[in-house]
């Protein structure tokens, strides 16, 4: 099923998982899926190595397992370190497995790996995918501006190019202040971007996680969140529970303000996903 169709029926509730690194046990991700499947998300997205040679095949394996469970899989497809022929090979595998939903991404630039030249932007990949098959294509968006954009105006302009190239719905980068998302959504609407936008929510359950996330994506931290970190940062169990509660509070507020969907960055933690799913089951994800 094409994910775009879901937004016409409900507030979509989805998960993201990632395959283990090549030197990690592969069973971990399948054990994770065994638990997540019982939560009945609308779809599960699977990350894909942006390095040009990593876990792409494993990502396809994981997506196939998700499909076996009767859940719609979406596979991430970064392009900055791939040639057209390499993308074609991946698409052949995706097609062979009957996967039709793709999240088209530029991918993170790795200073140790010179980028390829076939694709400079995610919009280039979206255009290419449109020429290769009838895929349901999603794109990423940044409520607090893409780190490489000069400003919010340029970022929205680039996002509109991505949508006009064929991205049918969007998934946002994580954020901790809902007002940032609402401001972004209003600017997108004014710019004529009228596709569904899922809000990306990451429950913060340990101190190192938030430090890493803030460094990589530049998410701002509201005072309420900072106080939680200061109070419970050295108490893992308390921080986990506080992080879950904060994410639930975000989701409730987003749903009340008409969000198109919630994309939960599970970090492969079924317990956390379960707690949040149970807390918001009557608010999002129901037909």
Is the dihedral angle over the CA atoms 101, 107, 112, 115 positive or is it negative? Answer: positive
Active site residue: 5, 16, 34, 198, which one? 16
- Long-range (24+ apart) CB contacts under 8 A made by 163-167 are 163/139, 163/193, 163/195, 165/123, 165/126, 165/127, 165/130, 166/126, 166/127, 166/129, 166/130, 166/137, 167/104, 167/123, 167/126, 167/137, 167/138, 167/139, 167/195
Strand locations in the chain (E): 12-17, 43-46, 72-78, 101-105, 136-141, 169-174, 197-201, 261-265
For tokens 């940032």, name the residue: 180
| C-alpha span between 95 and 104 (Å, rounded) | 16
Which 8-state DSSP code applies to residue 118? S
Q: What phi and psi, each to the nearest 5 degrees, are found at residue 216?
A: -80, -35
Strand locations in 169-271 (E): 169-174, 197-201, 261-265
| C-alpha span between 44 and 270 (Å, rounded) | 13
211 carries an active-site annotation: no
Q: How many Cβ atoms sit within 10 Å of the Cβ of residue 64? A: 18
| C-alpha span between 60 and 90 (Å, rounded) | 9
What residues act catalytically?
Answer: 16
């Amino acid at each position: 099923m094409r994910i775009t169709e879901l937004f016409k029926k409900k507030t979509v509730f989805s998960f993201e998982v990632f395959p283990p690194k090549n030197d990690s046990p592969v069973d971990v991700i399948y054990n994770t899926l065994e638990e997540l499947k019982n939560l009945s998300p609308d779809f599960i997205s699977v990350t894909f190595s942006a390095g040009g040679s990593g876990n792409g095949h494993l990502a396809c394996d994981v997506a196939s397992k998700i499909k076996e469970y009767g859940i719609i899989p979406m596979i991430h497809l970064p392009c900055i370190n791939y040639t057209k022929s390499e993308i074609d090979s991946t698409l052949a595998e995706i097609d062979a497995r009957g996967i039709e939903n793709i999240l088209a991404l530029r991918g993170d630039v790795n200073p140790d790996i010179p980028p390829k030249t076939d694709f400079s932007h995610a919009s280039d990949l979206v255009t290419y995918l449109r020429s290769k098959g009838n895929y349901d294509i999603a794109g990423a968006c940044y409520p607090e501006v893409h780190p490489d954009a000069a400003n919010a105006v340029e970022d929205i302009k680039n996002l509109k190019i991505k949508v006009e190239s064929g991205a049918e719905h969007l998934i946002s980068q994580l954020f901790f202040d809902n007002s940032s998302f609402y401001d972004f959504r209003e600017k997108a609407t004014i710019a004529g971007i009228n596709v569904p936008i899922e809000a990306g929510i990451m429950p913060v359950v340990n101190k190192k996680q938030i430090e890493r996330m803030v460094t990589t994506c530049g998410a701002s931290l509201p005072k309420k969140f900072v106080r939680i970190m200061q109070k419970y940062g050295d108490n893992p169990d308390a921080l986990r529970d506080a992080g879950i509660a904060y994410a639930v509070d975000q989701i409730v507020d987003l749903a009340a303000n008409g969000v198109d969907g919630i994309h939960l960055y599970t970090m492969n933690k079924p317990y956390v996903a379960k707690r949040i799913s149970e807390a918001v089951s009557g608010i999002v994800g129901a037909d």
